[in-house]
Amino acid sequence: MKRKRFYFDYAATTPLDKKVFLKMKPYLEDNFGNPSNLYEAGRKANQAVGEATDKITKALNCAPDEFIFTSGATEADNLAIAGIARANKEFGNKIIISAVEHKGIMSVCDALKKEGFEIVKIPVNKFGLVDLKKLKKEINSKTILVSITYADSETGTIQPIAEIADIIKKFKEKKYSKPYTLVASGYPPYFHTDASQAAPYLDINVKKLGVDLMTLSAHKIYGPKGIGGLYIKKGIKIKPIIYGGGQQSLRSGTQNVPAIVGFGEVMALAQKNKKAEFKHVKQLRDKLGKGIFKTIPRIILNGHPKNRLPNFLNISVLDIEGEALLLYLDEKGIAVGTGSACNSESLEPSYVLAALGRPYEYIHGSIRFTLGKYTKDSDVNYVLKNLPEMVKKLRQISPLNLKIKNPQKISQPKAFVGGKTPHFLKKK
C-alpha cells in the first residue's frame, strides 16, 4: 500500500537531496578509495574530502584545518565537551551548559561529572531563552567551557550566541589582563554551540558569532546521515575521544568519503538558498500556526513567539496525550514529533519543555511540527483539514477537561500535580 506522506518532522531528520545523492554516488561506487592512500584512488578520495572541507569551512568562515568530520552531531558534541574538559584540567573543572541542551551534550556532561567536573545548567525563561544574568554570574576562574545551543531541537528558540560570546570575551579580558589580552582568546573558558538545527536558517559565520567550537550535522540539512563535524578554533587545546590511525589527527578512523562529499554539497546549497528557504518555511509555518490556533480551542504555543527558527511550531494540545495524537496523525500519513513521555525510551516527558516551566499536563500533549524545503502549501492545508477532527475525537476519548483560564500564564511544573511531585521528578 503506497500512501502519500506529509512529513512535518524535519527537526528529526531530512530527506537526502537527490542532487546531492548524485554527487555522492561515484564515491560509493567507482571512487571507493581510502583517502589515506597515495595511489590514484586514494588521491581522488582525498581530493574529494578536501573539496568538501573547503565548501564547509567557507560557509563557516574558518580555515580548512579548523574543521573535523565526525559521525554526526552527537559525536561532535561529545568531542567538544569531553575533549575540551580532559585537555584543560589545569585551568579548572567547571563546565556551563543550558537546561535545554540536546542529549548529546547532557549525557556527556553527566559522564564528566563522575570524572570530577562541575556541571552547571543555566535555566531558561518561559520562552526558552537562557538567563544571561545567571550565566554571567556562573562564569568564574574555574570555568573551562560554556556550551549553549544555537537553537534547541524542541522549540527552536534561538539563543543570543553573539551576546554570550561577548560575555565570555569580556570575562577573558578581565582574567588575562594586560599585557596578556592578546593571547586570551586561546585560553579557557571556551565557547561551544550546537548549530545542528540552526544551520539551515541562521548565520553560521563563526567569526561573527564569536564561538570557539561549533557542531554541525548533515542530515538536518538534506545531507546523508552518519556525518557531522566540529569547528575548532586554531590553538585550542582539545583531546581526542576516538583513538586510532590518526586520520584527521584529532579524530581517527577512515573518513566516510561519500557522506563527506554529500555534507560539503548540502552546506554549499544551504548557504546559497538560506534566505529563500527561510522565507518559504516561515510563511508556511505561520500559516499552519495561525490555522491551528484559529480552528482548535485550548492550544498552547511552546517556545519563543517570535525569536525561534522559522520552521518550528511546537504546541501543546490540552487534555490529550502526544503519542496518541501522533499515531492518529500517522494514520493520515502525517509525521510529527512529540515531547510526550510515552514516546520516549526513558518514559520521561520532555526536559526541554519542563525547563520552560510547562506543567506536565501540557508536555504530555505536546506536538512538534517542523517544516522544510519540500513542505508544500497543500501539505499545510492537509494538516489544517485533518487535525481539528482528530483532536476532537481524542478529546472525546479523554476524561480530562483541564480548566485553565489563562493557560499561557501558568509556568510552574507542579501547577497541576496538586503540590505533589510526579515520579520523573522524585529521582532528582
Partner 1 sequence: MSKKSLTAKKKTPDVVNKFTGGNWVYTKEVKEHFFKPKNLLWENPDSAKFDAEGIVGSPACGDVMRVWLKIDPKKDRIIEFKWRTFGCASAIAATSMLSVMATEKGGMKIDKALKIKPKDIMKRLGGLPDRKIHCSVLGDKALRAAINDWFKKTGQYERIIVEGSRVIDPDTKVTEADIESAVIEGVKTIEGLQKRTKVGIGNPACLDEAEQLLRFYREKYFGKEVSLTN
Q: Which residues are catalytic?
A: 342
- Identity of the residue numbered 219: H
When asked if residue 29 is in the footprint of partner 1 (CB under 8 A), the reply is no
Alpha-carbon distance of 9 to 374, in angstroms, equals 12
Q: What is the nearest approach in angstroms of partner 1 to the Cβ of residue 262?
A: 13
Quick check: 404 binds partner 1 (CB under 8 A)? no
**Is 248 near partner 1 (CB under 8 A)?**
no
Query: Residue 184 interacts with partner 1 (CB under 8 A)?
Result: no
In which order are the strands placed within the sheet that holds 312-317?
299-302, 312-317, 366-370, 337-338
> With binding defined as CB under 8 A, does residue 262 bind partner 1?
no
Hey, how many other C-beta atoms are within 10 angstroms of the C-beta on 252? 13
| Contact with partner 1 (CB under 8 A) among 25, 58, 274, 287 | 25
Using CB under 8 A, pick the residue from 107, 402, 404, 411 that binds partner 1.
402
> Is residue 219 a contact residue for partner 1 (CB under 8 A)?
no
Q: Which of 249, 378, 396, 406 binds partner 1 (CB under 8 A)?
A: 396
Site membership for partner 1, residue 409 (CB under 8 A): no
Contact 91, 186 (CB under 8 A): no
Which stretch, 33-41, 133-141, 274-282, 313-321, contacts partner 1 (CB under 8 A)? 313-321
The distance of closest approach from Cβ of residue 420 to partner 1 in the complex, given in angstroms and rounded to an integer, is 5
Instruction: Tell me the closest approach of the beta carbon of residue 401 to partner 1, in angstroms.
Output: 10
Residue 150 CA from chain centroid, whole number: 7
How big is the chain, counted in residues?
428
Distance CA 201, CA 270 (A): 8
Nearer to partner 1, 286 or 331 (CB): 331
Q: Tell me: does residue 316 bind partner 1 (CB under 8 A).
A: no
Indicate the residue among 2 and 178 with the shorter CB distance to partner 1. 2
Query: What phi and psi values does residue 266 have, to the nearest 5 degrees?
Result: -70, -30
- Mention every residue, 6+ apart, whose C-beta is less than 8 A from residue 181: 172, 173
The answer, yes or no, to whether the previous bond of 200 is cis (omega within 30 of 0) is no
Q: How far is the CB of 321 from partner 1 (least distance, A)?
A: 5
Q: How far is the CB of 105 from partner 1 (least distance, A)?
A: 23
Closest CB to partner 1 among 178 and 427? Answer: 427
CB 338 to partner 1: min, Å: 10
Residues 134 and 197: their CA atoms lie apart, in Å, by: 25
> How crowded is residue 261: how many other Cβ atoms within 10 Å of its Cβ?
26
Binding to partner 1 (CB under 8 A) within 325-364 occurs at 327-328, 331, 335, 340-343, 345, 347, 349, 359-361, 364
Here the cell at position 144 is 573551562
The sign of the dihedral angle between the CA atoms of 388, 394, 399, 403 is negative
**Nearest approach, Cβ of 73 to partner 1 (angstroms)?**
21
CB of 242 to partner 1, least distance (A): 28
Q: Which of 306, 403, 409, 427 binds partner 1 (CB under 8 A)?
A: 427
Closest CB to partner 1 among residues 2, 306: 2
Amino acid at 117: F
The reply on whether position 245 binds partner 1 by CB under 8 A is: no
398 binds partner 1, rule: CB under 8 A: yes
**Applying CB under 8 A, does 12 fall inside the site for partner 1?**
no
Q: Which stretch binds partner 1 (CB under 8 A): 68-76, 94-102, 217-225, 392-400?
A: 392-400
Binding status of residue 324 toward partner 1 by CB under 8 A: yes
* Binding status of residue 297 toward partner 1 by CB under 8 A: no
Binding-site ranges for partner 1 (CB under 8 A): 1-2, 5, 21, 25, 319-321, 323-324, 327-328, 331, 335, 340-343, 345, 347, 349, 359-361, 364, 396-400, 402, 416-418, 420-423, 426-427
